[in-house]
Structure 1
Amino acid sequence: MKRFNRTLSLLLATALVLPVFQTGTARAAEVSSFNSAVSHYDYFNDVYPHLNDTSHVLKTVTYEDLVTLLDSEGTYAVLVGGAWSEETQADIGFINQVAKQYGVDTVYNFDTKLDGAAVDIAEQQENPYTKVVTSTSQGVTTNTTNYYDFNELYVELADKYLTNLNPNTDAAITYSKKSPDKVTTTGTVTAASTVIASGEAKKIESPFLFIYDKDHKDGEGNAAPIIASLEKHGSSADYTWNDFLTADPNDGDALDTAKVDSYKEQVLNVFNKVPAADYDSLTSWDFIAPAFNKHEDQTVGRDIFPTHEENGEVVGNDGELVFVHVTYDELNHLLDSEGNYVILFGGSWCPNTQAAIRFIDEYAKKYNVDKVYFWDTKLDAGISVLDPSADPHNSTFLQVRDTNHPLAKLYVDLVNKYLTNIKTQYLPASNNVNYVENGTNVVANKLQVPYLFAYNKDNVSADGSKAPILGHVELMYTWKNIQPDYAVADGVIRNHANYTSALDKLLTRLEATPTGLTGVAPTTSANNNGQITGITNKALEYKLKGAADSAYTAVSGNAITGLAAGTYSVRYAAKNGYNGPTNAQNGPTAVPYAAGQAVDVIVPAFDGPTTPTTPTTPTNPTTPTTPIEEVNAVNSVTVTGTTDPATGETVAAVSASDVTSLITKASKAEAAGKAAVIGFQVPATADTTSSQLTVPRNSFNSIASGTNAAVKADLSIGTVTFDSKAVESISANSESGDISLIVSQFELTAEGKEVLGDRPVYDLSVFAGDKQISSFGGGKVQVSIPYTLKAGEDPESIVVYHVADSGDPQTIRGRFNAAAGTVNFTTTHFSQYIIGFNKVSFLDVPTTAWFHHAVSFLAAREITGGTDEAHFSPNAELTRGQFIVLLLNAYGITPEADGAANFADAGKTYYTNYLAAAKRLGIATGSGENKFNPNNKITRQELFTLLYRSLEQLGELPTAKTGAAAASYSDAADIAGYAQTAFAALVETGVIKGSGNKLNPEGVSTRAEAAQVLYNLLSQ
C-alpha cells in the first residue's frame, strides 16, 4: 500500500461542487479523451445522472480490489451500492460533495451485485445455482451436480474483515457449501451432496457508507475495523431522488435544501470520525502488482513487478501502471460508449496473464496508452477469503467464461452484443461458451486469457462492415518462457519476440480513423515536397483521392513526404492480430483485420516565398507573441450576459443571427485570402468568477462547415481561441445540444497553497449539450489568462501547471507575456490549469549574465537543474548524454522503460532510458557499432543535429525564414555531412547565429549555450 500524496490531491477547491450553469450544460456522463492515445471512460457520470461532477472522488472496486483494500494498512472510505439501487442513485452525489469538501480524495465503491443486475452476493439465495457435468467412464455415464451459493463470498468477506458490522436490521445472509451430487443415468447415487461449510453474516443494504481501518480498535482494545458507518439514512425505509425535492409542484425539480443539508450532515458525521489528512488511497500499482507477484510462476526467481525501497517505502520499479480494473457492469457500459479503448481480459490467477502483464504495461506506455481497462472473467478473481492458500487458478466458482457455467450468459451475451468481429484460437464449433434459452443453444467464441484488444464500437472496415475490435493479441506463454533471455529447444529466443512484436502491431492502431493529421504545403514552386504530418506510431496507408484502392501506399516514420498539393485519402492499413496455435516455423497464427475507413487530408498549394521575419532570439522572455488579430481578419460581437452575484456565474447566449453575420464576414475575409477569426466577447462584472458563452448548435456547425475560421471567445476571465480543426472536432460531436464554452476561476485549498502558494486556478470546459468535450481531434486551443506580476515575481519563473487525471500538477509549456499582461499557453485538451511561480536561483547565474533569462526559464520548469544546489556551472562543457536528457525534458519526451532497445554503451545511469527514447524516435542514431559515446563532449554540430531531429519529430521546426544561409558563413565547409541539413534549416530560421562570420560547428557547447538555444525556441 502506498500512501496517497494528499498535498497534491487536494489542490483544487472553492465550492463544494463545480458550477452547474443555467442553460442545460450540467456536467453529466462523459467519454473524455485526455492527453493520451486512448479515451477515458467515466462510469459514475454515465450511470448516476444526479452525480453531476466530472471531478468526483468515486472509484469502482472489483471483488478482488475490495479484498486488496481490506487487507491493506491505512484508512479508507468505502461505499457499498450500485446504480440499480434507487437509494444509491439518490445519495451518491451528496456523498461525493461532502467527501470533497471534507478532503477525502477517494471513496471506493463496491457493488454487491457482481454483474450490476442479478448476481447479488448480499441477497439471500433460496435456490443456489447448479451446474450439471456429464462424464463417462468404463461405460458408465454420471451426471455430477455442482452447487454455487454466491452468498459464500459475502459471508466470508464480512466474517474476516467486517467483524464489528452493525447494520440497521437483524437480517442475516447465510450460505451452505455443498459437495457435488453424483448420479448415474440409471439412477444410482454414487455420492450424495453434503454440507461441507456454512456461515452467516449480518446483511447490509445499499447504500452503506463506512470508514475502514483493519488495525483500528475500540476504547476497550477490541478489533473494530469499521470506524463509522451510515446505511440508508440510518433507517431501513426505502426512498428515491424525489424525496430530496421540494413538495411544491411549482418548484419543478428544485432540491429541498433542508432535507439535503440534513442528509449531508449525517454523511459528514461519518467522514469526520477520522481527520481528513489520515485518509488513504491505493494506486493502480497497489491493486495490480502485489496480486500478480503473489500468484506468479516462481521458477524465474524474480517478481513480475520488481520493487525497490525509496525513503523507507516500497516502490514499484515500473512506476504507476496503466491498468484499471473494471466491474462487469462497468465493462458493459464502456463497450457501449463512444471512444477508443484498449481492453484486457485476464486475471492475476492466470499464469499466461502473469507472463504478459508487465510487457503490456511497458508497450502501452511506449504508445502513449495511459489506460488499459482490465476485466477479470472470474468475477471473484478465483480468490478464497478464508483460505488464502487455495489455488485461484483452479477455481471456476465465478468463471463466467467457463463452458456450461450457470452464469455463462454473462460472457456469451457480452461477446455477442459488443465483440461482434471477435477472433480467437477456439472456434465455436470446437470449443465455446454457451447457455440454453427457450430451447435454443446460444454460443459465443471462447477466448483464452490474456486477451488484449483495441476497441471502438463505431468502427467499420473499408467495406462498411461493423468491426469494433481493431486488433487483438491472444498468445499463451509463461512468466518463465516469455523472458527476453529465454531460449526454446532449438536455442532461439522466440517467445518474447513473438509477444512484443504482436504488441507493436496491435498498438499501431488505437482509433477507428486517423486523427491529428495535418497537410503541409510544398515550400517550392516545384510543388513536390508537401507533407502530411501526425503519423508517428500509426500503421497508415495513403493515396491521392479518387485513385483506385490498389494505389494505397504504406507509410512509416514521422510524416508522409514528397507530396504535390491535393487531397489525399489516408486510412489505417489492413493488419494482423495474433493468437495460437504457435509453431517454430511460422510463429503465431496471424489473423487478418481489414483496412479502416479513410479520411481526407488536404495538402495546400505552394503560395510563394515566405515573408522574412526578424531572428527569433528574444532579448527577454516577455517579448509578446503576435496577437492573432494582427495576422488574421477578426470579426467579433459583444454578447451581454447575466451575472448571479451569489455564485459569480456570468451566463451569455449569442443569437443565431449574430453568428450568421459573423460567418458572412469571415467568408469574405477568406475569399480575400485572409485567415478569419470569429470572435465573441462576454463582458464580466466585479462579481464574475465563472463565465459561460453558449452558441446555438446549428450556428456553430455552420461555422465549421462554411468557413475555415478560428473561434475566439473572450470571456474576460480568460480568452480561448480554437483553431479550425478544433472547431470541426467540436462540431462533429454526436450530441445534438448547443455548444457552451466555460472558463471558471477558483482557489487552491489551504494544503494546495502550502505546496504552490496562493496561486490562481482555472477550469476550461466545452460542452455539447450536457456532454463534456475534453479533446479536440488534434486541433489546438490558444489560451490567454490575464495576470499581473506580484511583488518579487520575475517573468521567467511564471509557469503553467496542468492538473492531470491523477490530480497531480504537471508543468506544461506556457509563459508570461508582459506586453499583454497575460499568461499564454496552447493546449490540445481542456482540464484545470494553475498559474504558478517557481523561482530557481544559482549563485553563478547573476541577473546581468547574458544567459540569465534562459537558465531561469528552464530551471523554473524543471527542464534543467544545477550541478549542485547552489550552482549551475554555465561554462562547464556539456556531454552528449547530458544534452539528450536536457533536450527530451525540454520537449516533454518520456524516457523509455527499463529494458528497451538501446545503445551498447548506454549503461545504467541517469541518461540510460533517455538514450533509449532518442534511439527509438530516430533523434539519436549513434556514432557506429551501436554506440552513442554519451560521456564525450558534445560539439555544436552534434547538438544542432539532435535538436533538428527532435523538432522534426515533434512537427515544431520553425518555418519563418530570416534570410540567413549557412553557406554565407566562412567556415560552412567545416560542417560535417550529417549536420548540413540541420545547420541549413536552423540558420535559415534564426535558431543558430554565428559569431564573427563563423558557425564554429566543431566547437564544444557549454551548459549556458545549450540553455540559450532551447530558451530561444521554448519562450516564443
Structure 2
Amino acid sequence: MTNLHRRRRAAAVLAAAALAAAPLVGVSGAHAAPDAPREPSSATAYPEATKGATIDWFASAYPSLSEGSVFETVTIERFEYLLKKNTGRWAFLIGGPEDAHIQDAIAHIDAVAKAEGIEKVYNFDPNLDGEALSVFDLTGYNLYSADNAGKDQFLDLGERLVTEYLSKDAETPFRLAADPARPDQRVAADHPYFFVYDAAGGASNRIVDALVTPPGDLSAPGAEAAYRADVKRVLDSASLDVDTQWDFLSTEHNRRHFERYVRNADPAVEASNRKRFGGDIFEAERDLAGGDEDDFRIQNITYPELIEILDSDGDFVLLFGGTWCHNTAAIIQQTAQYAREHGIKKVYNFDFSLDSTGNGGTLDKHIRDNAFRAISSVQQQTRPAHLYGEILERLANAQTQYRILDTETGIQSVSPVRYYEDGVVPNPSDLAEGQKLARKIQVGHVLSYNRAGDAPVLDQAIRSDWTNPEAGNPPAPQYAGNVEYMTEWWFTAGHDASFDAADADHLRGSVNVTQVSGQNVLQNQRNFAREGLREIRDVIAGVAGGYESSVTASGLPTSVGAGEATPLTAQIDVTSLFGGYYSDRTASAQTAPLTGTRPLTGTVSISVDDEQVAEVEIDADRSTTVTGEIPALSAGSHRIGYAYSGGNGGLVAGAEASHDLQVVAESATVTLSAPASLTYGAGGTATATVTEGATGTATLNGLPGGPLEADLDQGTATFAIPASLAAGDYVLTAGYAGDDTYASATSSASALTVAKGLTVSSSSSVSTTFGKAGTLTVRVNSPSEAVTGDVRLSGVGTAQTKALSGGAVTFALPKTLAVKKYSASIDYLGSANLRPSKSQVSYTVAKGAVSKVTFTRTKTPTSKKSGGALVKVSVGSGLPSATGTIKLVIKKGATTRTVTKKLSKGSASVALPKLTRGTWTVSTQYLGSTTYASAKAKTVKLKVVR
C-alpha cells in the first residue's frame, strides 16, 4: 500500500460541539461503515467543488486573455473525434501560443465569441509539444533517424486529418504540398487558422466559413474593428454546437470497450459478452446524478497543459491513461465518482500516447518509451521520449513497478525510459553518452501532485511494501516493492460481488470459473481491483483534506466533587470513512482470497478545561478505553473534552467534542453488585447502590451498544443484563451522573463472563436399501436462541458440512453407499454464542433389488448339440452392475439339469447342455451378492425337436 501521505496536510480539527447533558455525542454525525463509499444515485447531493488546484491555461499562455475564455484545447484524438462525427458544427482555432499571429488575434476572437453568446471555440495546436513537434511540418525537428521513421508517423497524422476531413471543402480547404526533404510525404502548406466546421458537410462543404490570412497590424486605425467583423462573420455562419468533456470521454471509452469486448454479430454472444465484460463504462443516469455535463470532473488535456500544471502551485489530481487503454477504462468512472464525492474541482487526464492509438513498441507517438528503437537492426531515434522525461523530472519521487537500475532493490523488473535532454543526442555513435533515465509509469494511474518541496508526488494509487496479514497484526512485510493497479473494468465494476454458480458469467471476463482455482482467481482479481479503487479514493480524499472523522464517548462524568482528584474511565469511539482495505494475494492467485483492513492510526485523549489529562493510541477496532484522573477543581462549571488526533499520515482528519462538567460540593460513592458469570441466553440482573440521599440516574457501563441507564429508587438502580449479551468477557462499572448536591462517581470494576449457551444435536435412525438415495435430517436445539451455524456429518460416506436453516439441516446421502449399518457422527460446530454438541445415529443400508432378470435363448440345444443363452441382471440407472452367480434349472418330467455361471458386467453367456426331444422348462435365478438381493426371471419353455 502507498505510504506517501507524509505531505498531506491534515484537515482542521472540527469545531467543538457544546453538549448540554449526555456525553454520547459526536461531532460529525453518522458515517457509513468503514470502506463503504456511498453509491451515487439521482438523489446524491455532492459537496461543492472547492478542493484541489486548477489552471486556466489560456490565460497563462496568452497574456492578452483573461481567465474564463471561450477556448478549450483538444488533443489530436479529440480533434479527429469531432471532425469525424456525423453531425455537429464546431468553431476551431488552429495554432498555439508559439504562433505570434495567434497571440495577436486570440483576445479579439474571445471578445467577439462572448458577445455572440458562443460557448466554446476548440483549439487544436498542430505542435503537439507546444513548440515544434508539428503534425503538419517537422522540417528541422530534432529526431535523429536515417529514414525519418519517427517523423513519418507524426506527419501521417497530419496528412490523415487533411485528407480525411479538412480538405473536404470546395472553397477553403486545407491544402497539402510535398515536403522537399521527403517527396513521398505531403505536409499542410496552406490552411485556415480559424473556421467553422460542419461534420455533416459531405465531401465538399465542411468548412462553412474561415479566416486564412493572419491579421496584420491590429493597432492600425480601423484594423481591430475590421478584424472583429471578420471573426463575427465566421462565428455567425452557422449555429454552433458544444461537445463537452463528458461527451468525448464517455463516448470514446464506451465505444472502445464495446468494440473490444462486447460487439458480436450473434446477438446471443453479444449479450453473453456484456454479462462477462460489463456494459457501458459511463452511464449518464449514474455518473451525472446531481449535476450536468459541465460538472463532469475529468478533463482531458494536452502536453503543454500538463507541463503548465506541473509548473503551477497547488495540489493537483492527475490521471494518466487514454481511451485506448483497457486498464484506464477500469478506473476512470470510479475516479470521476470519487472526485465528485470529495468536492475535487478537476482531475486532469493526460495520455502518454499523443494520438491515443496505444503503447506498442513501434508506435513513436507513445512518448513513454525509449528515444531509440531498432529498425533493420540499426538503432534510430524515432521517438520524442524527452517529452516523457520532462514529465518525470517534475514527478521526481514517483514510485513505479518498474525500476531504473539493477542496483535498486525491492522493485520489479528493470525497464526505464531512455531519453536525452531536449531530445538532442550528443553523440550518435555512442548512444550512452548523455543518456537519461526516467521511471516508467503504467496506465491508468492516479496520483496527486504539488511542486513545492522535495517530494512533489503527494500520493499515488500503487501497492507498495506488500504485507501478509497472516504474519501478525500489524502485518509483516511479505515483500518490499511496488505493484501498479493494472486491472479491468469488469473487475472494478464487480469489485464487491461474490461468485455465484447460478450466474457464473457475471463480470468474470475471460476467467475460467469451472474449477475452485478459477473462482479464486476471479475473487482475487476483484479484491485487487477493490484495493486499487480504495487507493484511488485515498489519493483524492487526501487532496480534499482527508476523510472526516467523528468522536463519541461513554462513561465521562458530568459532575465531580470539589477539591479532590477523581479517577475516570471512558470509552472513546472514532468513526471515519477511511477503510484501509487490502488484499494479500496477487491479482491472478489461484489460492483462496485473503484480505485485511489497515488500522486507523492516531490517539484519543481527554482534557479538562483544555488541559489534557489522558491520551492513548486508538485501538484497531476504533474503540478505546481511556483511563486517567480529573484533577481537583473548584466548584462551578468546567469543560471536559475528548478528541481524536487524526492519523494515517494526515489522510484522516481529527475530531473533538466536549460537554459541561459540574463540580459540586458533596462527593458520592457507587457500589456495583453484578454476577461473575452468566450463560448466553439467560440474562441477569445487576444493581448499583449510590450514597444515601443521591437522586437522579445511574448507568451500567461496559456492555456493547453503550451504557444502560436506570433511575435511582431509594439509592438503588437495577439493570437487566440482556439475554442477548454475546458470549465473552466484560468489565462492568456503575456510574452515577450526579445531581445538584452530589458529584458523579464511578464504581470499581466487576468482571463478567458470559459462557456459551448449551445446544443439543439430534436425529432419527434411517434405513434404506442400496440404490435408493437417502436423507438424514439433523436438528439442533438450544434454550438460548434459534440455532444457526454449521453441522458436520461424518461416518457415512464422504463427510459433509452444511449450514442450519431454522435450526435444522438435511443431508443428502448417495444411493451407492455400501450395504452395511453405519454409525453417523453428527457434530454441531458451534457459534460465537453457542457451544458445539455431538450425537450418533444409525444409518442402515440393506441389499438393493435388481430391476429385472431376463433369459434369452441364443442357440437351441438338440440331443446331439449343446445350445446357448444370455442371462441379464438389470439394475437402476447410475448403479454398479450386478455381480455374483446365476443358476439355471432345466426340467422335463423327472429329469433335471442345472447350470451356473458368474456374471460379468451384469450378464452371463451360458452354454445349454444337450437335451432330448421334448419340451423343457427353464427356471432362471440370480443368487444375489453382497450388494443386491436374489431375484428370479420368468420361467420359459424350451422345445427341443431333434
TM-score bracket for this pair, using the shorter chain length: 0.3 to 0.5
| Higher gyration radius (CA) | 2
Query: Going by fraction, where is strand more abundant, 1 or 2?
Result: 2
Higher RCO (C-alpha 8 Å, min separation 6): 2
Q: TM-score, normalised by structure 2?
A: 0.44
Query: Going by fraction, where is helix more abundant, 1 or 2?
Result: 1
Q: TM-score, normalised by structure 1?
A: 0.41
